[in-house]
Amino acid sequence: MVEKPHIDRLLARLPAIEAELSAPGTAANQKRYRELVREHSSLRKLQDKATRYFDLVKTLREHQEMIADAAADAELKDLARSEVPDIEKALPAAELDLTVALLPPDPAANRNAIMEIRAGTGGAEAALFAGDLFRMYSRYAEDRQFKIGIVDASVGESGGYKELILTIEGEGAYSVFEFESGGHRVQRIPTTEAQGRIHTSAATVAVFPEAEAEDELEIKPEDLRIDLFCASGPGGQKVNKTESAVRLTHLPTGIVVQSQDERSQHRNREKAMAVLMARVLDAKRREEEQKMGATRRSMIGTGDRSERIRTYNFPQNRVTDHRINLTLYNLNLVMEGRIDELITALRKHDTELRLQAQVEK
């Protein structure tokens, strides 16, 4: 059972946070301001969940006392008896919600996301599948009013994409897509297959939180190599004669990012830099997490491209997520962007593992 004094101690911070947020000059320090807003939001959520849970506990106790009171009005006792089962049914879910609200928040959860989709083994069919994944994620993102932006795209010879880098902008975009990183395998009959044989192809997905000012990432000019080139279209033909496309190479890490989707060299550089900073931040986080041992990232999976996380079997209309042993027979809907059941199951499993880790500390 969650202890009320512990909750009260945590919530006692709220007045101080609100006072600091309204103080003149607080907004001038953007890093501190964002920290306060995040903490305030987390505590208000905790307050709502705590109110709900402790109200149920109090009501249940009052009803039980009334039922046990020989002098209590018989009609009121009957009413209390009728309400007790519903209260007892609601309590476990309310306690779980409160316990989850006590978990340390992920500072990257509310950020925009950067997603990279690359064709893997399977040649032209892999590129087509990468395109299908992009369409799936785009439809799901649009349903949630997220904004999709293309940073760079390399089109496959028969369609689809050899490689695609995109931004997903919207509150909590990273927390929605963070568990999509890994290897995605497809089993289906390619349109080019004359004999009707099922082929297995693959694509990989990587998702990073967008870097923000508070990360205090410094990319020194001397650590950056900038190459300019003409943007290319399908088949490699040049789509303009000016060197508007930008390739950035971070020399210390060897990370290479390019953007050619915009006509403006300046905009391409901005987009490429945003992706580069996200990649550098991700590398930094991975390094820190490895030093710390067990990590939040490893609870559901490594996030590595090499880790096979999901299989899409078209002949059986089946999709299986191997990390949580979840199989659905609605692949036709999943490929149309109806992936809520997968996303929700993954986030629920992650929460359960985080709760278990807290108990074991």
> What was the pLDDT predicted at 3?
83
Alpha helix (H) ranges present in the chain? 4-11, 14-22, 30-68, 74-101, 124-143, 173-177, 265-292, 331-334, 340-360
Tell me how crowded residue 178 is: count the other CB atoms within 10 A of its CB.
24
- Identify whether 108 is part of a domain: no
Do 222 and 79 share a domain, yes or no? no
H or E segment to which residue 183 belongs: strand 182-188
Do 40 and 17 share a domain, yes or no? yes
- Identify whether 106 is part of a domain: no
Residue 43: alpha-carbon gap to chain centroid: 21
> What was the pLDDT predicted at 264?
84
Contact assessment for residue 333 and residue 318, using Cβ atoms and an 8 Å cutoff: no
Strands 326-328 and 318-321: antiparallel
Contact assessment for residue 136 and residue 109, using Cβ atoms and an 8 Å cutoff: no
> What was the pLDDT predicted at 297?
46
> What was the pLDDT predicted at 194?
66
Do 157 and 181 share a domain, yes or no? yes
> What was the pLDDT predicted at 332?
97
Residue where a domain terminates, one of 55, 78, 101: 101
Q: Map tokens 């083994």 to a residue.
A: 121
- Identify whether 196 is part of a domain: yes
Residue where a domain terminates, one of 101, 124, 140: 101
Domain count, the chain: 2
Do 133 and 43 share a domain, yes or no? no
Do 180 and 329 share a domain, yes or no? yes
Contact assessment for residue 289 and residue 297, using Cβ atoms and an 8 Å cutoff: yes
- Identify whether 267 is part of a domain: yes
- Identify whether 360 is part of a domain: no
Average pLDDT along the chain, 361 residues, taken 10 residues at a time: 85 94 88 86 92 95 93 91 95 89 83 93 92 97 95 90 94 93 93 79 93 80 88 55 82 90 85 90 78 50 70 96 96 96 92 78 59
Residue where a domain terminates, one of 78, 101, 124: 101
Q: What is the DSSP string of 100-169?
A: HHTSPPPTTTTS-EEEEEEE-SSTHHHHHHHHHHHHHHHHHHHHTT-EEEEEEEEE-TTSSEEEEEEEEE
Write the CATH number for 228.
Answer: 3.30.70.1660
Contact assessment for residue 45 and residue 101, using Cβ atoms and an 8 Å cutoff: yes
Do 192 and 264 share a domain, yes or no? yes
Do 296 and 320 share a domain, yes or no? yes
> What was the pLDDT predicted at 299?
47
Domain housing 47 = 4-101
- Per-residue b or e along 113-138, where b marks 16 or more CB atoms closer than 10 Å to that residue's CB: bbbbbbbbebbbbbbbbbbbbbebbe
What are the tokens at 111? 């950020």
- Identify whether 361 is part of a domain: no
In the chain the first and final C-alpha atoms are separated, in Å, by 17
